[in-house]
Copies of this chain bind each other. A is one copy, B any other.
Amino acid sequence: MDVRALVFDVFGTVVDWRAGVAREVRRLLPGVDGEALADAWRGRYAPSMDRVRRGELPWTGLDDLHRASLDELLPEFGAPDAPEDVRAELVLAWHRLDPWPDSVEGLTRLKARYVVASLSNGNVALLVDMGKHGGLPWDTVLSAELFGHYKPDAEVYDGAARLLGLPPERVLMVAAHVDDLVAARSRGLRTAYVHRPQERGPQAPPPPAEDPDADLSVASLTDLATRLGA
């Protein structure tokens, strides 16, 4: 592979959304099951973006989609009267997710040899906040927001390669989700699968250990750095 840039999915691949959201739910809504609300909230993630992808909604940033999903869920979780400031603060939980233990070391090693950038459905402000919170050493933040399309729309993968000034085969998409890699491959990017067995918690069916269609399957971002000689 003659790869120059690595672009990373973030939710689940670089950061642990479930633990981070659950922690903020427990802090801000004592008595609500943090993990259960985190799972339900994340469950609305793809359907909410699909409404934008199908054109049923105009472009709407992820913070706003998160807020709408939260407002729908709070009555189900016994908190129909949660005040405005608590709702706004809960949405910011997604800006303050902690990296997986290997992420900062892996990205730092990879940055010495490659361009490293996010390629996430999170909005730019969310990704910038998350980078500062967790010390993620991005060369730059790339976001669906820059393209007005959510992954897995082709415009996101095409746009990332275009902004980086590279042909798609010199860009490696790194993700813990097979569907993201399928879409990236269909646009000509190289792909690396990261196994994140804890992403959905101990009760959920585990993700596959490898993606046989990816160029690489790795167990962590430090493993990825080692495999790429970084």
Contacts and interface: CB of A to CB of B under 8 A. Distances in A.
Interface of A: 63, 115, 117, 123-128, 131-132, 138-141, 145-146, 163-166
A145 B165 CA distance: 12
Contact of A115 (B115, B128, B138, B139): B128
Number of copies: 2
B132 A165 contact: no
A117 B139 CA distance: 11
Contacts of A164: 124-125, 128
Nearest to A125: B165
Contacts of A125: 163-166
Contact of A140 (B63, B141, B166): B141
Contacts of A131: 139-140
Contacts of A140: 124, 127-128, 131, 138, 140-141
A124 B63 contact: no
A229 to B, nearest CB: 17
A192 to B, nearest CB: 20
A128 B123 CA distance: 19
A99 B61 CA distance: 34
A141 B5 CA distance: 15
Contacts of A166: 125
A215 to B, nearest CB: 22
Contacts of A141: 139-141
B132 A128 contact: no
Nearest to A63: B165
A141 to B, nearest CB: 4
A145 B163 CA distance: 8
